[in-house]
């Protein structure tokens, strides 16, 4: 995680964060992270069982589909089940 300070609220910068005090602009969250708050100090990592390939995500990360899983936070994609195994539910955390 980056060490961050304050991002002034501005309507055009909702759901972003700033790396400098009283910055006039904010940065998009990286893939694998999101921010669903204005004036954010940082972006949150996608939780286990979710992912985001999108930069600047403003809502919770996507759930891994059936047949895929994720066992680490901050994922940009889900892993396929290995040969000989399967998952029938969405959002599985680990195999």
Q: Binning pLDDT at 50, 70 and 90, where does residue 3 land?
A: very low
Q: What is the pTM of this model?
A: 0.68
The pair of structure tokens assigned to 75 is 């994922």
At 6, is the pLDDT very low, low, confident or very high (cuts 50, 70, 90)?
A: very low
* Chain segment 24-74, per-residue pLDDT in tens: 677 888 999 998 887 777 889 999 889 999 998 888 899 988 888 888 899
pLDDT at 23 over 90: no
């Amino acid at each position: 995680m980056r060490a961050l300070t304050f991002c002034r609220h501005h309507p055009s910068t909702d759901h972003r964060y700033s790396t400098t005090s009283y910055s006039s602009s904010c940065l998009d969250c990286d893939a694998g992270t999101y921010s669903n708050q204005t004036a954010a100090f940082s972006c949150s990592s996608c939780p286990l069982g979710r992912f985001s390939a999108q930069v600047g995500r403003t809502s919770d990360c996507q759930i891994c589909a059936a047949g895929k899983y994720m066992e680490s936070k901050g994922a940009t994609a889900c892993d396929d089940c290995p040969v000989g195994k399967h998952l029938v539910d969405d959002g599985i955390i680990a195999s």
